[in-house]
Amino acid sequence: MPQKIKASIAYGIGKGFAQPEEIIIDDPKGAEVLVDVQASGLCHSDLHLVEDDDQFFPFPAVIGHEVAGIVEAVGPEVSGIKVGDHVVASLEQVCGHCANCLKGQPQSCMQQQECVRAEGDTPRLSFPDGRPITQAFGTGGFAEKALIHENQLAVVNNEVPWDQAACIGCATITGAGAVINTAHVRPGDTVAVIGTGGIGLNIISGARICGAKKIIAIDLLDNKLEFAKKFGATDVINSKNEDPVAKVRELTDGGVDQAFEAIGLRSTMKQAWDMLGVGGTAYPIGLTKPDATVELEINPADLLVHQRGFKGVWMGSTNIKHDIPMYADLAVDGRLNMKDIVTQHINLSQIDEAYKQLVAGEVIRSVITEF
């Protein structure tokens, strides 16, 4: 039978996140899994969705995509996930059989609609009076429970703490994944990371795991730069005080092998390009505003003689069924620093205040652990 649960609802652009209220969640159908949410992380991209951008889905909506919890029930078509499993969700929607999925690029799935209910079907979430509520990206983690397609879930070991597990579902797969899966950073490489929030710190962790000899963290706040050293940054640059491009070139005798931009600004994307050495590649990862454009004046010699590249990354080129369990294991044995990512635990009624703290640079990651 459908259940009553508490959820924080976003009612539109600029309206923030409402105080928890009672809604209805349906029973699992087909390949859906009902998850009793134990932790839900506050990713900055969710804030973008309620402040700047209404193109992804209609409001009202339950947002939140860094979800970790216990499987409560499964639909009749679910295989590989059972009641009682510990799972982590991802906003990466994967059909598993389109051309991109079959060639090992599930992050570029062309049939993502298969992970959500069809138009006209009973909604997964609704108000008590029957009005439907959008479940953003098929996850809807700012709630006591979530109904998620099995292809958006990965089973993880039972030892990884819930708050850390939640962050693995986005911050880690996006950051560390960009390093490991997309850039294929090798031992001895030099790396620059612009922006040291949750994703940036995971980029640093990924570069350390890969054996990069120099990992340069760049930010505007000294406290965040100092924090980046816990994750493996070998050098830090406060770009408010000095030119980050010139300093990176000085530290690396000409430029880095890989530059990762984790903010989503035109100016920092250009910095990432300008600090590359011969054969280097810049990877823009940060989510931009919907009307943003980036114009780079590129000398053809940079592409040919200097062999530079500029490559976008989506969700760290992640295969969630393989990568999320791997990162959970690395977190448990200490090779992946997840315990320092989470700097605040909150309850479901504190989302707006926690996002204000995130924007001010007062926290790295807040995670809802009380529902």
Given a contact cutoff of 8 angstroms between Cβ atoms, the answer to whether 151 and 176 are in contact is: no
Kindly state the average pLDDT of the residues 70-94: 97
CATH, domain 3-161+339-368, list 3.40.50.720, 3.30.470.10, 3.40.50.300, 3.90.180.10: 3.90.180.10
* Cβ contact 197:44 at 8 Å: yes
Residue-wise pLDDT for 118-135, tens only, equals 988 999 999 999 999 999
Can you tell me the distance from the alpha carbon of 309 to that of 132, in angstroms, rounded to the nearest whole number? Answer: 45
pLDDT of residue 289: 62
Q: Domain segments of the chain: what residues?
A: 3-161+339-368, 176-313
pLDDT band of 77, cuts 50, 70, 90: very high
Percent share of the chain, pLDDT over 70: 96
Q: pLDDT-based confidence at 53, cuts 50/70/90?
A: low
Please tell me the distance from the alpha carbon of residue 354 to that of residue 362, in angstroms, as a whole number: 9
Q: pTM surpassing 0.85? A: yes
Secondary structure of 41-76 as H, E, C letters: ECCHHHHHHHHCCCCCCCCCEECCCEEEEEEEEECC
**Is 354:366 a contact under the CB 8 Å cutoff?**
yes
pLDDT tens digit string along 233-262? Answer: 999 999 999 999 999 999 999 999 999 999
Look at the domain 176-313 and name its fold: Rossmann fold (3.40.50)
Examine domains 3-161+339-368 and 176-313 and report if their fold is the same.
no
Q: What is the pLDDT of residues 336-345, one digit of tens each?
A: 999 999 999 9
Question: What is the band of 97 on the pLDDT scale with cuts at 50, 70, 90?
Answer: very high
In whole angstroms, give the CA distance from residue 198 to residue 41: 10
